[in-house]
Amino acid sequence: MRLIRFFLWALCALVAFLLATYLALPIILPGYARLFIKQSVTKGADAIICLSGGRETRVPESLRLWNQKYSSKLFVTQEKPQNKEFSKLELNHLQFAQAVTKKMKLAATWEIIPSLSGGATSTFDEAEDVLVYAEEMKWKRVIIVTDEFHTRRAHYAFEKIFDDSDVKVDVAGASNEVFSIENWWKSDSGIMAYLSETIKLPVYMIWDSEPEVVENN
């Protein structure tokens, strides 16, 4: 009899725990997502720099900042082609940014940050490229634009690379139409985005440059 009572109590406790966890998910999961997000932009920057990657979201956000006069200069970073043989069949980062600008009927002009290595393969690479160019142009502050879920990791990379320089880095996050902080766990792309950041953010916090264990040839 005692064994049956113990089993029933344990079952009730488990059900209560699972129910409480389920009801708390709308609070816990958005809070978890916010750990990966950083927003710190003010007007008067020397340049707005759109990082490579999710250009469908990052380019429009960069143009929005430009249109609201956060800076008068727009740049894209140079990424390494994933397949040199067929890379010319699609728009590169600069061409895509120019096409979006035309579509939005804005009088913005884009320039490209030269790559030190034939094209960036990581945020650390982009930070190194931007630093060299920023010091050459004698910039004091830049705004980097990336996807919202990538902002904190991107800012870590830039802060570490820029540590010994006088150039300050602000970061702006671009939202998307598939998922947000409030519902990211309800879509495959949202789950993949935050799962990826869960793995990558600690790596960026530990290393001061791109880990040597990772090869991007």
Tens digit of each residue's pLDDT (9 = 90 or more) over 30-76: 999 999 999 999 999 999 999 998 899 999 999 999 999 999 999 99
Tens digit of each residue's pLDDT (9 = 90 or more) over 85-116: 666 767 889 999 999 999 999 999 999 999 98
pLDDT at 173: 97
Q: What predicted TM-score, i.e. pTM, was given to this entire model?
A: 0.84
Mean pLDDT score of the chain? 86
For residue 22, pLDDT beyond 60: no
User: What are the b/e assignments for 147-162, b being 16+ CB within 10 Å?
Assistant: bbbbbbbbbbbbeebb
Q: Which residues contact 194 (CB under 8 A, 6 or more apart)?
A: 32, 33, 36, 149, 184, 185
Q: How far is CA 108 from CA 17, 48, 56, 95, 130, in A?
A: 55, 12, 17, 13, 20
pLDDT at 53: 87
Cα(99)–Cα(181) distance, integer angstroms: 29
pLDDT at 108: 96
Q: Which of 170, 152, 149 is nearest to 43 (CA)?
A: 170
pLDDT at 20: 47
Overall fold of domain 47-206:
Rossmann fold (3.40.50)
For residue 216, pLDDT beyond 50: no
